[in-house]
Amino acid sequence: MHPILFTLIITPLALFGTSQILVTLGNTSGNRLLEYYGRALASFLALILCAIYGTIASAILNVFGYGGLGQWTTARAFKWTMLFSTGVWFEIEDEKDWRNTTRPAVFVGNHQTELDVAFLGHLFPKYCSVSAKASLKKVPVLGWFSTCDAASRRYKQEYS
């Protein structure tokens, strides 16, 4: 196996394993700080992994005419990745299905913690659109995802 490919595969696995060891050690020893650092590492890895996934998924969905699902599928991926890596889960009580039946609608997240992004992953309806600061375009991976999804929306508006 090529050394670069090997590094690209092993590094995330090693970081994820480290995060899970920190969480486990923190739980068993009662050391909340250790547990916090393990969960923080796992959530940052989940965010990076899902941003990479979102960039690729948005491009592929756009090719097949489903570019509007890029944000939704990435949010769902982050929701499940956070559950498996950190144990974070939200229950959304929406008996009347307002999220999927009311348009227009605005969901606002202030992004003060990683939990905000995970919460929005539970909340996003299909074909939602996300607005972000222009400065986020300069952030590696996350900026690529934002730019790719925005380009797919512009393309669909211009050629539909």
Euclidean distance between CA atoms 6 and 8, whole angstroms = 5
Backbone angles phi, psi at 66, to 5 degrees: -120, 35
For 8-39, write each residue's pLDDT tens digit: 788 888 888 898 899 889 989 999 999 999 98
Chain centroid to Cα 119, Å, comes to 10
Residue 152 scores a pLDDT above 60: no
The CA distance from 160 to 107, in Å, is 26
Q: Are 20 and 109 in contact (CB under 8 A)?
A: no
Q: Which carries the bigger pLDDT value, residue 99 or residue 141?
A: 99
Q: Sort residue 129 into left (φ over 0), alpha (ψ -120 to 50) or beta.
A: beta
* Omega prior to 125 cis, within 30 of 0: no
The per-residue pLDDT for range 100-122, each reduced to its tens digit, is 888 787 777 776 776 777 888 88
pLDDT at position 155, please?
47
Cα separation, 98 vs 125, in Å, equals 10
* Per-residue confidence band for 51, with pLDDT thresholds at 50, 70 and 90: confident
Taking the model in full, what pTM does it have?
Answer: 0.74
